[in-house]
Structure 1
Amino acid sequence: MIYTGCHLSSSKGFEAMGKNALKLGADTFAFFTRNPRGGNAKAIDPDDAARFRKLAAEHHFGKLVAHAPYTLNPCAAKAEVRDFAFRAFQEDLERMEYIPGNYYNFHPGSHVGQGAEKGIELIAELLNQSLKEEQSTTVLLETMAGKGTEVGRSFEELRAILDRVELKEKMGVCLDTCHVWDGGYDIVDHLDEVLEEFNRVIGLKYLKAIHSNDSLNPLGAHKDRHARLGEGCIGLEAFQRIASHPKLQGLPFVMETPNDDAGWAKEIAMMRAFADAMPET
């Protein structure tokens, strides 16, 4: 059993997102905490958040996977970019407490020529200054495709960040299927081995969510271009194996595919059916 959903617009609030998710047949979803290109966040209506919490409990939603803006780069070379990352990150964690117990996912960032080691150091600095014992939100590092100077292009880089984080119990990883494929991890022909490597390097206890996306690019392209499920180089048979893999059960699977509501509803139902067809052990 898995939870399935897609990325929804947050412009009308939590309750509207929850109702839209139900229309699509979803029992989880992702949303940007603010404009994906940055800027100030819209004020949260506490009553709207309360109505959503009631709706989610009634319909047995899985964990939500909130997404930080793409412009959040804690390891940027420019101080003003890092300053925005710290402010937005800390504000977002405070805002997440209106819907407690969910996930906040972010791209670790790009070191912009400073080197991966410096980037890892700066990302860990953000986390150590922002994570609090009392928070209910788990922060997820996203696996990256490795384009440009992205940090998080390998399991080892994510592990290096985690090694420097003091409150590791507040941390997890979101595995993006397009990104790991583009990063050189063969989830088509060697899914078991990739998951074994993840467990060896990071630990499966940290794997909290899946971004379920096909890729327009071949294995190891380091480009990051999403495709609809079954319409890219990963292919539908691989997603059937991913959704039904025993080590991935119970996780939220979020589609970030280039789709409309009808397309997302189809993918949500398809991934759930794949998981439900998992052979008994």
Structure 2
Amino acid sequence: MRIGAHVDSADPLAEASARAADAVQFFLSDPKGWKAPQPRDDADRLRAAEVDVYVHAPYVINVATPNNRIRIPSRKLLVAHAAAAAEIGARGLIVHGGHVNAGDDLTVGFDNWRKTFAYAAESGGFATPVLIENTAGGENACARRLDALARLWDVVGEYGAGFCLDTCHAHAGGEELLDLVDRVKAITGRIDLVHANNSRDGFGSGADRHDNLDSGTIDPELLLAVIRGAGAPVIVETPGGATGQAADITFLRGQTGIGDRLA
């Protein structure tokens, strides 16, 4: 099982080395901005590296919203990030599930997700697999609760959408981690990546505040059960920089069923 971390984008391979990580995840542009990603000088090194690469799309992207001023730029930016991620050999592009505004029909959000994949299909589809991530908060979210996720997958599953399971988001979003993998796979048929994070806040809080794996409000044994059950690559998005994340990676590698670092 490949285990890595979300790192600074300046030199991801150096960050991987500092954590003894098998994988890295990073942003290709300002996560709170709308600028398109630019070509990277280290693209050849990233493509050739033994370290697996994942890209996280900017937080501003919300393809579900009925607001044209956000939805249309979001679609274009997601396509641009998928193309840029392909240039560096990324295995997946992670994007949050998005939401509609208060008072809007959530059905519109699901249909906008369908149109997003249809829009990309017009130019040959996304250049990198898109992994939709469950989110922690919002009553109008498309991927917070599993009942909403099921409705989302009814419209995007046929396009080959992937799924990224965030343990902190699930806990804070009000989904029990016990048997979560089975319940998710019954909907999506797949888990392509796990964001392994503890939660600083309590169950159902709706707060997206990550903590290290042996801290926080989630029993570490529950986190380990999710990771073992998913059988997917793992990215920790935990605090503490290289030291804190390296400790989390070491913790995971020391557990039965998780596995040692690949040579």
Q: CA shift at 1:150, angstroms?
A: 2.1
Seq. identity, %: 25
* Correspondence for 2:33: 38
CA contact (8 A) 1:146 1:152 kept: no
Q: CA shift at 1:174, angstroms?
A: 0.3
Counterpart check, 1:200 vs 2:186: yes
* Correspondence for 2:57: 68
* Correspondence for 2:134: 143
Distance 2:145 2:74 in 1: 22
* Correspondence for 1:121: 111
**Local SS of the residue matching 1:44:** coil
The one-character-per-residue Cα deviations of 1:131-178 (angstroms, maximum 9, x if unpaired) are 465655211110112324322112232232232237533x21000001
Counterpart check, 1:168 vs 2:154: no
* Correspondence for 1:248: 230
Gaps of 5+ in 2: none
Distance 2:157 2:220 in 1: 39
**Local SS of the residue matching 2:3:** strand
**Local SS of the residue matching 1:257:** coil
**Local SS of the residue matching 1:29:** strand
**Local SS of the residue matching 1:105:** strand
Distance 2:258 2:211 in 1: 24
* Correspondence for 1:158: 149
The one-character-per-residue Cα deviations of 1:223-266 (angstroms, maximum 9, x if unpaired) are 222112121110323233334x2x323x2211112222111111
Number of aligned positions between the proteins: 257
1:134 and 1:184, CA in 2 relative to 1: closer, same or farther beyond 3 A? closer
TM-score (norm 1): 0.83
CA contact (8 A) 2:15 2:242 kept: no
1:84 and 1:53, CA in 2 relative to 1: closer, same or farther beyond 3 A? same
* Correspondence for 2:218: 234
How much is the aligned-residue C-alpha RMSD, in angstroms?
A: 2.2
Gaps of 5+ in 1: none
CA contact (8 A) 2:201 2:216 kept: yes
Q: 2:85 aligns with which of 96, 113, 132?
A: 96
